Amino acid sequence: MPLIKVQTSVDSPDRGAVEGLLKSLSAKLAKHTGKPESYVMTAFEPSVAMTFGGTLDPVCYVEIKSVGSMSPSQTKAMSQDFCQQINEKLGVSTNRIYIEFADAKGSMWGWDGSTFG
């Protein structure tokens, strides 16, 4: 039920680097949310046409969604952790990364022919 989706203007690194990034994001999201990693989904979209601050310098937009509520302390810790990781793996400056956190009602999240609520 937790989802982390990364969109970036950066060209895709090699397949192994992408797989490593996604696996790391998955494990960290499970840890931060306290949800089983078996329910975590990750997505990576490279080479997206994007601007930030009116420039075409490397930029990244991250969506994190989860059923239930994420506390302010959780979102702050995730912002720090994921910004650092994206900076290290993709070379995007942390001040050019936006992260959107969204809580979802269980009834609004479908899976396996049903919902979580």
| Residue of 2, 13, 36, 72 marked catalytic | 2
**H helix or E strand, kind and range, residue 89:** helix 72-90
Q: Are 99 and 62 in contact (CB under 8 A)?
A: yes
Is 2 catalytic? The answer is: yes
Which residues, listed in sequence order, are joined to residue 83 by a DSSP beta bridge?
A: none
Collapsing DSSP to helix, strand or coil, 99 comes out as strand
Residues in Cβ contact with 42 at an 8 Å cutoff, skipping those fewer than 6 apart? 3, 4, 5, 6, 22, 23, 25, 26, 29
- Work out the burial of residue 62: count CB atoms within 10 Å of its CB; fewer than 13 is exposed, 13-18 middle, 19 or more buried: buried
Active site members: 2
